[in-house]
Amino acid sequence: MTGSTGIRLIEPADAAAIAAHRARDAEAFRRWEPAQPDGFFTAQGQTERIGRLLAGHRAGSVWPGVVLAGDQVIGQVTVGGILPQPHLRRGSLGYWIAGTAQNQGHAGRAVGLALAVMTDELGLHRAEASTQLENLPSQRVLRRNGFSPYGVAHSSILLDGSWRDALLWERILGDQAVSSGSAG
């Protein structure tokens, strides 16, 4: 799946394509993600999940997007845990690319596009992400997009029956100083 990389807000109509990718790639993603119920890998399960994501988007806590190669859905990019308060203004970035579209630069371009959404559309100041310690491809994507590692979260995620550590990443998103309105 070659073609230009794009992102856009997820839609209910994306459920079948996402379910097909997730079902096909379930074993490959098993080492990076928590176990999911069988329904997660179905169009109905993804339709329900997309509904929850869009409800979160309406509430301002998440920006759920799909990654496109041309006009084909090949993955997802999500800004979650959005804290828009003037003294916080941050969000956590997550992404995945279907196995059939990996190693073609889509992840790096999608992360770059998501950072632009975080800055320009969401007005955030700080982007955060995490990777498993051994997920070197994802770490390269983050480094190429200006992220720096800043710590390790010990026993942060239960994967395949074991608690695993995660490497924490950060990137400051431009100079968006907020006027404090202090009296002189």
Region of poorest pLDDT, from 31-40, 41-50, 107-116: 31-40
Cite the beta strand spans of the chain per DSSP E. Answer: 5-9, 63-69, 72-83, 90-97, 126-132, 148-159, 162-172
Beta bridge partners of 162: 159
Per-residue pLDDT band for 69 (boundaries 50, 70, 90) equals very high
* Structural domains of the chain, with CATH: 5-172 (3.40.630.30)
Cβ atoms of residues 10 and 54 within 8 Å: yes
Q: Using the predicted structure, report yes or no on whether residue 183 has a pLDDT greater than 70.
A: no
Cβ atoms of residues 131 and 57 within 8 Å: no
The SS3 assignment for 108 reads helix
Q: Tell me what pLDDT residue 175 has.
A: 55
Cβ atoms of residues 67 and 95 within 8 Å: yes
User: Running DSSP on this structure, what letter comes out for residue 31?
Assistant: T
Task: Give helix 106-116 / helix 136-144 axis angle, nearest 10°.
Answer: 50
